[in-house]
Structures are given as structure tokens and as C-alpha cells.
Structure 1
Amino acid sequence: MFAQSQSIHKLDNGTVLIDNFENDPVGELPHRWYDRDGNKKLINYPQDFSEHYLYKIRNNNANNFLRYQGVTAKHISFPLINENKDNIYNINLYETPILSWKVRAHKLPEGANEKTSDRNDSVASIYVVFGMGRVALVKKVPKSIRYTWSTTLPEGETGSKLFGNQQIIVVNSGKEDTGEWITFERNLVKDYRRMFGDDPPKNPIAILILSDGDSTNSYVKADYDDIMLKPEK
């Protein structure tokens, strides 16, 4: 995750606003988000690369938001450290442990199940990457928690993949809430302790977004907005 320093909003109440997409041009890729590995902003890639990222800024009732629509699986990343591994936003999870975000699901992937490889699709997932874990002695994979709106798994279901390096928490399930903005809030410190069994590092590496339907060959449509880290009440 090799982000260059860029502005981020810290509100008077201590909340860190990651992005609300209000400053992005409608119809374009989100200007502050990077490819999956955090190497380069999406808007700085040539069109034949970036056109595979199906996330675009939309506007309704004077509000900008991020929309995914399509089938292809491509994460987008908001790195929170730079190439020198500096904590460029001075984020401390113990001061702002509450991850808050909004999702509006429109079309869920048919029969998807995040715990099975052949049906691993989601209408809307947000990941927090805390560090790099290990699969073998040499190979490293991101150590993360994935919060997902699942088609078939019940709300509250948990699971793990990548030899335990990716922990999954289902925050909503099924079609009942489609078409409505739903706000989710999770205590990252508490979830990390529950899922990994120890304390999280105070400086997360990145936040990722993923909507996709490639495993089930489903058309998927979802909106994201108001991603922030908040102090505990």
C-alpha cells in the first residue's frame, strides 16, 4: 500500500472522514482511491486498465455517492500508510475504533456465499486491512476483517479464509433492505480481539471496497457512502 500523502478530514468531534465522495466528479472513478494493492490511484491508470474497475460516482438529491454495477471482481483501496510505512493520517484505532459506513443494495448476486470459493460474491463488502499475515514461511497475505452484506449467510455469521488471515463478519443478509440506505457501525478493536484473539495494531494499513458477482455470474448493483472512523461513545 504505497499512498502518497493526501488530505483527509478530521471533524471537531474526533471523527476521521475517510470519504463521502462529495468532491469527486459525477460519472468518474473515485479520485482518492487506488488499485487493490494501493500502488496507484485509479484515475492515474490508462483507460484500458481502469475501465475494469466498475465503481463510478453518482448523484441523487444533491448527494454524491459511489456506485458499483457489473459482474467483475475488483477491489478498490484507500491506503492509510505511505511507501515508508508512515501513518500519514495519524489514525489511532484506540481513539477512533468505530468504523461507520452506508450501503444501499440494489441487486444481490444469486445464491452467493462468502465462505465458499465457487460462490464467493457479495453485493457490498468493506475490508479493514490491519497488517500482513502469513500463509507459508515466505508468502504473505493481508490480515483483514471483511464486513459483508451476504445473499445467503445470516446476519451475525462469521468465518475465515486464507488460513485465518481474512476474517468474515456478515452485517446484513438477503433482499429485505434493498433500495434503502443502511448505516453500519462496527467496533474494530472489539471485532479484531474476538476474531484474531489479540490486540490490533493502532495503525491500520488500508480500507478496501468490493462488490462482485463473478463467481455466480451475477449482475450486482450497490452504493456506498460516508465511510469514517469515529470515537467510541
Structure 2
Amino acid sequence: MNGRMVWSAVALASVALCVGAVTTESAYAENQVLVLEDFQGKEADGFPSSWDHENQRSHSKGRDAYKVQTENGVNFLSAKDAGQRIKKKKIDWDPKAYPVLTWRWRLLKAPAGTDQIAAIYASLDTDLMFIPVFTKYVWSGTKPEGTLTEGGMFSGSEIVMQSGTKDVGQWFEERVNVYEDFKRLHQHEPAPKAWGISIIAAPGVEIDFGSLVASPAK
């Protein structure tokens, strides 16, 4: 269902240079990669361009929590003490043609006992009330890797990708087939175009997110 690996500094820099060479939401002609987000754009306060904050009552706190940063020439999203979700919609992404979602993340700090440290939401459809139908890929501080929690009427299904906090400071890459996960968990085909993606980090957590890339199944 998923794959992962620790990124070395050399490998990370090499891949990031390739990702940075293309425009977000554009495809590589040669290897059929669709870059959903590479965090090349940011607003004056550092908040990522083309993203929305979901909790308007704490809008300023959310903008302070998520900032685009650069390390060794590589852009990434830094989340510090967020506790709130940000979302990117209007992505020209056909999940059936590009079902494999890849991203990287690096945990820097998490309070002891935190269940859901951070998560990536892949929203491939909406219900009859236009509420996004999503699968949530989680870094958990308490649940074992591979744990699946079925969603309900107002919550999405969750899959634990990383567990614990022993690997603080290391980049990990995740690779999931969001199309197959969606069909298996939600029991129907997703929409022809995905609704969007979202990111969340828990209160007290410091974590970095790298580029999100979609590709065909191999």
C-alpha cells in the first residue's frame, strides 16, 4: 500500500533541484510526474501561495504557524504549533491517471503522547453536500505504522504512515496509491478531478513538509 525511505542530504538536494525546475501543478514531459505543490510561492508573511486557512476565527494564528522556508536551496513548508488545517483546492489532478502520491516530511518536535502529530489529506471527491471526501495519511505518536481507522459520516478514513518520535530530524518519503486507497475505503470511484489536498500539524508540534508529487502507477 505504501513505501518510505530516509532521505540522505545528497539525494534530497538532487531531487529537490529537479522539482524546483518546474512550475507547480505542471507535468514533467519525460517521466510523467505531476507536481501538486513544491512551495516555490509564498506571500509577504511567508504563508504558502494558493493555500487557504480553514479556521477563519484563528486566521492570524494559522498564518503564523505555516511558513515557507529554504534550506540548502530547497523550499519546504514549516509548521510550528499549528493545530489547524490549511488546504489547497482547484488542483488539475486526475487521480486515476496519476494515482501515486509522494511527499516527504521531517519531524522536529512533538509533545509526548501526541496521537496525531501531522497528516496529509487527499480529497478526491465531495459528497452530496459538497463536503470533501478524503483519506488522511497520518504521522502518529501512539498508533503503530499501518493502522487503519475507518471514517464515519463526518470524518475520513486514516492510515498511519509513521509512528513515534524516535527519528526526529530525519526526512522520510511516503508513497501511497490514493486512487486505490479511495476505492477500497470509500467503496466508489472518485471524481474525475480531485477536490484538493490539505495539511495539518498538531499543537506543540514542529514539522516540515516537502513537495507533494503525483505520478502514474508502475
TM-score by length of structure 1 reads 0.74
Matched residue count: 193
Gaps of 5+ in 2: 1-22
Query: Aligned equivalents of 1:189 and 1:49: distance in 2?
Result: 32
Query: Retained in 1: the 8 A contact 2:42–2:49?
Result: yes
Return the offset for 1:160: 2.9
Q: State the alpha-carbon separation in 2 of the partners of residues 175 and 27 from structure 1.
A: 30
Q: Which residue of 1 aligns with 2:13?
A: none
Report the equivalent of 1:166. Answer: 156
Q: Does 1:199 find its partner at 2:184?
A: no
2:53–2:59 CA contact under 8 A, matched in 1: no
**Cα offsets for 1:83-122 (capped at 9, x unmatched):** xxxxxx2x21111000111100111242123xxxxxxxx3
- From 50, 53, 59, the counterpart of 2:60: 50
2:52 maps to which of 34, 53, 73: 34
For 2:168 and 2:186, locate their aligned partners in 1 and report how far apart those are by CA, in whole Å. Answer: 31
**Structure 1 residues 142 and 109, CA gap change in structure 2 (3 angstroms):** farther
Q: What does residue 74 of structure 1 align with?
A: 84
How far has the Cα of 1:199 moved from its partner? 2.4
CA contact (8 A) 1:157 1:170 kept: yes
Preserved contact between residue 145 and residue 192 of structure 1 (Cα < 8 Å): yes
Contact 2:24 2:37 in 1 (8 A): no
Counterpart in the other structure of 1:14: 32
Question: Is the 1:26–1:56 Cα contact (8 Å) retained in structure 2?
Answer: no
Structure with the higher helix share, 1 or 2: 2
Q: 1:94 to 1:131 in 2, by over 3 A?
A: closer
Equivalent residue number for residue 157 of structure 1: 147
* Superposition RMSD in Å: 2.5
Distance 1:198 1:52 in 2: 34
Answer yes or no: is the 8 Å Cα contact 1:160–1:168 preserved in 2. Answer: yes
Q: Is the 8 A contact 2:39 2:76 kept in 1?
A: yes
**Is 1:103–1:124's contact at 8 Å kept on the other side of the alignment?**
no
Where 1:185 maps in the other structure, the secondary structure is strand
Residue ranges of structure 1 left out of the alignment (5+ in a row): 1-5, 38-44, 82-88, 114-121, 214-218
What is the rounded CA distance, in whole Å, between the counterparts of 1:98 and 1:58 in structure 2? 26
Contact 1:97 1:232 in 2 (8 A): yes
Contact 2:53 2:62 in 1 (8 A): no
- Name the residue aligned to 1:112: 114
Specify the SS of the correspondent of 2:62.
coil
Percent of residue pairs identical: 25
Q: CA deviation at 1:168?
A: 0.3
